[in-house]
Amino acid sequence: MSKANRKAHFNVFIRETGHHAASSRHPSVFPDRGLDLAHFVNQARIAERGLLDSLFVADGYAGLSRRFEPITLFSAIAALTKHIGFIATVGTTYNDPYHIARQFASLDHISKGRAAWNIVTGAQSAAHNFGREEHPDVEQRYKVGEEFVDVVKQLWDSWEEDALVYDKVTDKRLDTNKVYHIDFQGEYYKVKGPLNIPRPPQGYPVLVQAGSSEGGKELAARTADAVFTAQQTLGAAQEFYVDLKSRMAKFGRTPDQLLVLPGLCPIIGDTEAEARDLEEELFQLLDKHSLDNLSRFFTVDLSEYPLDAPVPIDKLKPAELFRTGITSRRDVIIDAAIREKFTIKQFVSRSAGGHGHITYTGSVLQVADFIEKWFREGGADGFNLLPPIFPAGLEVFVDKVIPELQNRGIFRTAYEGTTLRENLGLTRPSNSHNQVWAANGQRIENPVFI
């Protein structure tokens, strides 16, 4: 697609109450709906009404989240929707490639080509739930993660597109010459294959990556179709955008093969005054924990400072204290505080709105202006939306901001295709076995086990 015809893409990070830290206390929200399928189906239908690309669910293997496991949830929603895509988070450190290849192939078949995998390495807190005494360090996790993804791709490729026959006359159902062992032997995994379900409708489900560390950016440049990132300023977003896309050439990829989607928590009103009123309402609902949570980055307690005082940057703790587990959003939040000279109240508000992603407060037109500026000036290919409260925050975006973006020519007026890859403008990966030929032009045989 030419630069002039580029369209912004939007994913919605769905949750039970919203992404503002005070969302569960807002009077319009029902915090007991985290295990209510109808609540999430409603969010999916609102997003689909707005022609948004996909829904996203984060996940982990520790803590008391009271949320559904994402592949199970999305399998249910897929039966009740037609276009919206599904981005499920699955970690590589505490899983097995064969299981994950099979689960995502199943979701892609169930949804008719709308599945996506958000690839993470996993959090330290999960180690003891899987019989591990220690959580691997960042470098080790990314090495394992890269090999894990390679195995999964090869398993997806272990079936050619026309391996299924369904010939009633001969009762032949499968051409076994078109299903292959992968015989993978790497540093961390040994997998014979093939997968026991045909190749996904999209070839590969869309691959999403969320890490912004060096290892994360390298994995994304090599593997990902889309990247979720946390950037608090346009300048930081532009720097990340250029850095990430410049890494792709060494992996034989072009910049248009990867979408960069920063997180955005939009607090929207018909007027700026209405939006500011909602922002203040949410701020007043915050409890002391929000300030305590930010104070952990400092050698002082921020509650001892006036809210209109500047953030005491000189009191920061050393960055190396925050390098365990999933890479912290600390650097992003602190960078914004320095660049924009936040007061403590601004620091709390911006941090509480979207887990370290940017919170933008304004009228419908101002939010559209913000999105257009980042989109046109090289900061984003679209956004990972984190509505402050559900469903109201998503509804106002879909019903008011989306029409404004359509009027400006930067968002679709109809879905482009039937699969998530088609709607994102991504090509369907060819099967690697289609390129395995002997010198005499005959296919190298690697028959299946049945």
Give binding residues as ranges.
Answer: 59, 89, 142, 212-213
- Among the listed residues 254, 255, 237, 192, the one whose alpha carbon sits nearest the alpha carbon of residue 335: 237
- Among the listed residues 283, 281, 272, 253, the one whose alpha carbon sits nearest the alpha carbon of residue 361: 272
Q: Are 110 and 75 in contact (CB under 8 A)?
A: yes
**Alpha carbon of residue 12 to chain centroid:** 9
Count of alpha carbons within 13 angstroms of residue 76, beta-carbon side: 13
Pairing label, strands 85-91, 190-191: unpaired
Question: Using CA of residue 62, residue 25, residue 53, residue 39, what is the dihedral sign?
Answer: positive
In a 3-state reduction of DSSP, which class is residue 203?
Answer: coil
Helix ranges (DSSP H) in 132-230: 138-156, 214-223
Q: Round to whole Å and give the CA distance between 407 and 61.
A: 43
Q: Round to whole Å and give the CA distance between 236 and 221.
A: 18
**Alpha carbon of residue 80 to chain centroid:** 22
Known binding residues for FMN are 59, 89, 142, 212-213
Q: Round to whole Å and give the CA distance between 1 and 426.
A: 10
Q: Round to whole Å and give the CA distance between 388 and 397.
A: 11
- Among the listed residues 225, 178, 244, the one whose alpha carbon sits nearest the alpha carbon of residue 431: 178
- Among the listed residues 205, 21, 240, 223, the one whose alpha carbon sits nearest the alpha carbon of residue 114: 205
Q: Round to whole Å and give the CA distance between 391 and 14.
A: 9
Question: Using CA of residue 62, residue 321, residue 142, residue 217, what is the dihedral sign?
Answer: positive
Q: Round to whole Å and give the CA distance between 175 and 448.
A: 9
Q: Round to whole Å and give the CA distance between 393 and 169.
A: 56
Phi-psi region of 66 (alpha: psi -120 to 50; beta: other; left: phi over 0): left
The amino acid sitting at 425 is: G
- Tokens standing for residue 409: 């020519």
- Among the listed residues 278, 282, 260, 261, the one whose alpha carbon sits nearest the alpha carbon of residue 270: 278
Q: Round to whole Å and give the CA distance between 21 and 286.
A: 7
Q: Are 59 and 100 in contact (CB under 8 A)?
A: no
